[in-house]
Amino acid sequence: MFEFKKVKKKWILAAGGAAVFMFVLVSMVYIPLVDKMDEVRRKVKGIELRVKEGLRVQMRKDQIQEDYNKYRIYLKQQDYSDQEIVGNFLKELEQIARESNISVISLGPSEPEKEERDYKIYTASLKAEGDMEQVMNFFNGIRGSKLVMKVERFSLAPKAKDAYELKLSAKISMIIP
């Protein structure tokens, strides 16, 4: 019986030692190893996402280049001084007016440019005369212009009491990024 207790004690001691050894092994080796593997997995996932995004951009390179060439004119405007930009803006308005056959009475910058977060807004005031078709052609010309322009407000009134011609007064703005 005495020997049985010694053997039992040895087994309990061995089992306890093995349990402590396993606890130390798990907490000192296994858990840090698993944490390190999770960290490596997260880094690999991040790198994979960046590589996928890079591949997506690379696949669309031609489309991006085409879009860049299409909008380069707007970016080129940034290199000009404010006076040159206003001059180009007014020239473009005159050209559109000429193409739509309206008679320009007065055209000039209406207020100093406004600087927004990422762009500047330039405005011009226009007084012109023409029939309804010519005025609509003028508005369509502004909408289809290579510059980013829009009619902020306008008013139309007959030139005379029973006249077919209209007087146009408009405020037109242009945005430069």
pLDDT at position 120: 81
CB atoms within 10 A of CB 66: 11
Direct distance between the N- and C-terminal alpha carbons of the chain, in angstroms, rounded to an integer: 96
DSSP letter at 81 equals -
Tens digit of each residue's pLDDT (9 = 90 or more) over 61-106: 888 788 777 766 666 656 677 788 888 889 999 999 999 999 999 9
Structure tokens at 33: 């190893």
In which element (H, E) is residue 152 found?
strand 149-158
The span from the CA of 58 to the CA of 51, in Å, is 10
pTM of the model: 0.56
Q: Which residue has the higher pLDDT, 6 or 56?
A: 56
Domain 80-176: CATH architecture, name and number where available: 2-Layer Sandwich (3.30)
CB 110 within 8 A of CB 169: no
pLDDT digits (tens, 9 = 90+) for 35-69: 899 999 999 999 999 999 988 888 888 887 887 77
Average pLDDT over residues 3-8: 70
Residue 52 tokens, joined = 């996928």
